[in-house]
Amino acid sequence: MKYHPLALMIAIVLAQGCSTQHKEQQAELLPAPPATQVLTDKKDFAQPEIRVEEAKANDISSQLMTDELAVKEQVYTKVAKQKLERQANYAAGAANAPSVMAVGKMMAIAPMSAPMMDSYNLPKEERDKFEHFNDNPIKQVATDPVSTFSLDVDTGSYALVRQFIQQGRLPASDAVRVEELINYFSYQYPKATGQHPFASETELSTAPWQPEHYLLRIGVQAQDVHVSAMPPANLVFLVDVSGSMDEPNKLPLVISSLQMLTQQLRPQDKVSLVVYAGRTEVVLEPTAGNKKADIQAALGRLQAGGSTAGASALDLAYKMARKGYVANGINRILLATDGDFNVGVTDTNQIKDMVKRERESGITLSTLGFGQGNFNDAMMEQIADVGNGNYSYIDSLNEARKVLVDELSSTFNTVAKDVKVQIEFNPNVVAEYRLIGYENRQLNREDFNNDKVDAGDVGSGKSVTAIYEITPKTATPAVDALRYQASKATTEGKKANDSQELAFLKIRYKQPEGTKSILVTQPIAKPTVITSFNKSSETQRFATAVAGFGQLLRQSPQINALTYSQIVQIAQAAKGSDSTGSKGEFIQLVKNAESLAGQNNAQPAM
């Protein structure tokens, strides 16, 4: 089929004209170019190839393409310039901020908190990875009286939730692990004074969202060991320097955080530095902690670029850990990454298997998460759990200081490992119960006595909290009782029933270098009068406020008409001493979440 040359020329002109006009209208909305590439040269743009039969039409088309290319180049250059200006402003803010650490003759300076990401930096499609889980179900004591779980000392979920809300977004439900929100805060529990490396306490009150129900709080406080008394530490900094880390709140924040940790090292400590991107490299062999300038300089030279070969890097990090191994000391790999493993072994289970094998040799692993957009929260939490370490999310230098300076001993110095909790409820007193949080820490009943089953480790000075919501026999149960269930209580159990025990608490743990677990038991008596929630301790009320906040974010159906405003009131009344300001920050966080929830509810349905 042949076309008239004039008609063909007119069609091409109209098409090119419409395209140019459309692109000019969208110039202000044009997204940023990829972070790893700034397009400022015409050769960086793909130039469509147009073939026409008539030479004149070719000339007109070429001219229009040139004009269009010029407009496109101007827009991309403008956007790229804006991004560079933002980064320059961030660096300038760091230069004007107060000093936080000395680095030999240099000074590492950074703002007190990471900058809030604006809409320019937010990804169009969220690629953060969170493990899906359902809330713990309500269980009937008549058929399932025993609850068993591993303690959880991670706090990464709280920092992630905070960053989401500060950015003006409510977090995904699966990003909220309620126990990590509760355990982000320190509580005034009794100090360990006996033969065990921790003390425990319990408290019972009514529930603010259901007055007929009770809240049973179990608190564990590990003995505090001063940093100077810690065993010698052999640390391996395993740092992701791939292209995905090329953002101000990623690699630059990693460097500042690890430089801050370096300042806490003692002469008997040592540090290695391994980096990974398209390839892995040992940047620093095991170096004594008093050679801070060498360690700081090695960290300061790090630059981002390339893809991520995380699995092979782990293997090299373990080799460095073995090379610097300290007998009866702390041998720990500290993995700093956004978790974007896109080259090599990427299956989380395979990585977990590697970490599990290595922990048996005495080398543990902790993870520090950075950034958003491609953050792999699921992998970071799981490999830290398997590695007998802890998982923290670093969204600012304030958080880095909390984890790596203020809580240095609890982060690295384990005083009790494989800590398991088991509680048996008395069916004559309790009809139902549910554990708030700890969904991915559940253990089988038989796992409690099996010393081969791994569980959470507790660091020096760390407080850990678990809260149960209980339906007493006097309240209306959520599930109908079974008609033919027979009582199978033991003789001791029947005596306990007569004495009106509420429950029986058991805790198992191992010494840091031990292989055989030690059992601690404690009966929990049913008080004659149940304390109303408003008259319970500040610890009970504040921990409950945090638990309620987490459940609201997860949209739990179990908290009835509890509102953000009620949580704010509870937290403000129970704030007490707040030397770090973390409780005040929490109250503001709840207020911001309430505003965001109101905005979401006000939006018209699509």
Distances (CA, A) of 379 to 134, 275, 278, 339, 457: 18, 19, 20, 7, 18
Q: How many domains does the chain have?
A: 3
CB 218 within 8 A of CB 520: no
**Average pLDDT rounded to a whole number, residues 555-569:** 93
Compute CA distances 76 → 14, 47, 62, 259, whole Å: 25, 15, 21, 36
Please tell me the pTM assigned to this model.
0.78
- Tell me the residue type at 223: Q
User: What was the pLDDT predicted at 495?
Assistant: 59
Identify whether residues 196 and 65 lie together within a single domain.
Answer: no
My answer on whether 428 and 556 are in the same domain is: yes
Domain boundary among 411, 430, 448: 411
pLDDT of residue 244: 86
Structural domain includes residue 90? yes
- How far is residue 132 from each of residues 70, 440, 546, measured CA to CA in Å? 47, 10, 21
Q: What is the mean pLDDT of the chain?
A: 81
Check residue 481 and give its pLDDT: 75
Q: Is the pLDDT of residue 55 over 90?
A: no
Classify residue 483: in a domain, yes or no. Answer: no
Above 80 in pLDDT, residue 105?
no
**Nearest Cα to 399, choosing from 91, 100, 114, 176?**
114
Res. 213 pLDDT band, cuts 50 70 90: very high
Please, which pLDDT band fits residue 348 given cuts at 50, 70 and 90? Answer: confident
**Whether residue 295 sits in one domain with residue 193:** no
Structure confidence at residue 48 (pLDDT): 41
Which helix (H) or strand (E) is 285 found in, with range?
strand 280-288
Indicate which CATH number applies to the domain containing 286.
3.40.50.410
CA distance linking residue 231 with residue 413, whole number of Å: 8
Q: Which of 411, 438, 458 is the last residue of a domain?
A: 411
Residue 421, pLDDT above cutoff 80: yes
Average confidence (pLDDT) over 449-457: 96
What confidence score (pLDDT) does residue 438 get?
Answer: 98
Residue 594's domain is classified under what CATH number? 2.60.40.1230
- Residue 32 or 98, more confident: 32
Q: Are residues 84 and 213 in the same domain?
A: no
The confidence score (pLDDT) of residue 350 equals 83
Taking the C-alpha atoms of residue 437 and residue 147, their distance in angstroms, rounded to an integer, is: 13
Task: Give residue-wise pLDDT tens across range 259-293.
Answer: 999 999 999 999 999 998 877 899 999 999 999 99
Task: Say if strands 414-425 and 501-510 run parallel, antiparallel, or are unpaired.
Answer: antiparallel
* Strand, coil or helix: 210: strand
Provide CB contacts within 8 A for 579, sequence distance 6+.
none
Rg value, the chain, Cα: 29
Assess whether 258 and 403 both reside in one domain.
Answer: yes
- Angle, vertex CA 211, rays to CA 210 and CA 215, nearest 5: 80
In tens, the pLDDT along 247-268 reads 999 999 999 999 999 999 999 9
Nearest C-alpha neighbor of 256 from the set 100, 377, 144, 412: 100
As a whole number of angstroms, the distance between CA 75 and CA 68 comes to 11
Structural domain contains residue 102: no
Which ranges in 229-332 belong to alpha helices (H)? 251-262, 292-300, 310-323
Same domain? 147 vs 87? no
Max CA distance (Å), the chain: 103
Task: Output the CA–CA distances (angstroms, integers) from residue 16 to 5, 30, 51, in the order listed.
Answer: 17, 19, 14
324-329 contacts: CB < 8 A, separation 24 or more?
324/234, 324/236, 324/270, 324/272, 324/286, 325/234, 325/362, 325/363, 326/231, 326/232, 326/233, 326/234, 326/270, 328/231, 328/513, 329/231, 329/232, 329/233, 329/234
pLDDT at 309 (0 to 100): 58
Could you tell me if residue 105 is inside a domain?
Answer: no
Cα of 6 vs its chain's centroid, Å: 64
Q: Which helix (H) or strand (E) holds 497?
A: helix 491-498
The residues, ordered by sequence, that sit 6+ positions from 185 with a Cβ below 8 Å of its Cβ are 542, 543, 546, 582, 583, 586
- Helix 348-359 crosses helix 377-386 at what angle (to 10 degrees)? 20
The answer to the question of residue 124 being in a domain is: no
Residue 603 has pLDDT above 70, yes or no: no
Same domain membership, residue 214 and residue 238: no
Give the residues across from 435 on adjacent strands. 468
249: Cβ–Cβ under 8 A, 6 or more apart, which residues? Answer: 114, 115, 117, 370, 371, 372, 395
Statement to judge: residues 90 and 19 lie in one domain: yes
Residue with tokens 């929100």: 181
Kindly state whether residues 464 and 579 are assigned to the same domain: yes
Q: Assess whether 443 and 591 both reside in one domain.
A: yes
Q: Is residue 308 part of a domain?
A: yes
Is there a single domain that holds both residue 300 and residue 364? Answer: yes
Distance CA 304, CA 239 (A): 10
Per-residue pLDDT, averaged over 40-64, amounts to 42
Q: Mark 522-542 as b/e (b = at least 16 C-beta within 10 Å).
A: eebebeeeebebeebbebbbb
How far, in Å, CA of 606 to CA of 601, rounded? 12
| pLDDT the model gives residue 283 | 95
Instruction: Single out the residue in 411, 434, 453 at which a domain terminates.
Output: 411
Spatial contact of 510 and 388, defined as CB atoms under 8 Å apart? no
Instruction: With respect to residue 122, please indicate whether it lies within any of the assigned structural domains.
Output: no
Task: Tell me the per-residue pLDDT of 474-506, one tens digit each, with 9 for 90 and over.
Answer: 898 888 877 776 655 555 655 556 568 999 999
Q: How far apart are the first and last CA of the chain?
A: 47
Cα 598 to the chain's mean position, in Å? 26
State the Cα–Cα distance between residues 364 and 373, nearest whole angstrom.
Answer: 28
Please tell me the distance from the alpha carbon of residue 468 to that of residue 217, in angstroms, as a whole number: 6
Whole-angstrom distance, CA of residue 441 vs CA of residue 464: 14
Q: How confident is the model at residue 443 (pLDDT cuts 50, 70, 90)?
A: very high
* Domain region containing 309: 228-411
For residue 561, is it within any domain? yes
Query: Do 464 and 590 share a structural domain?
Result: yes
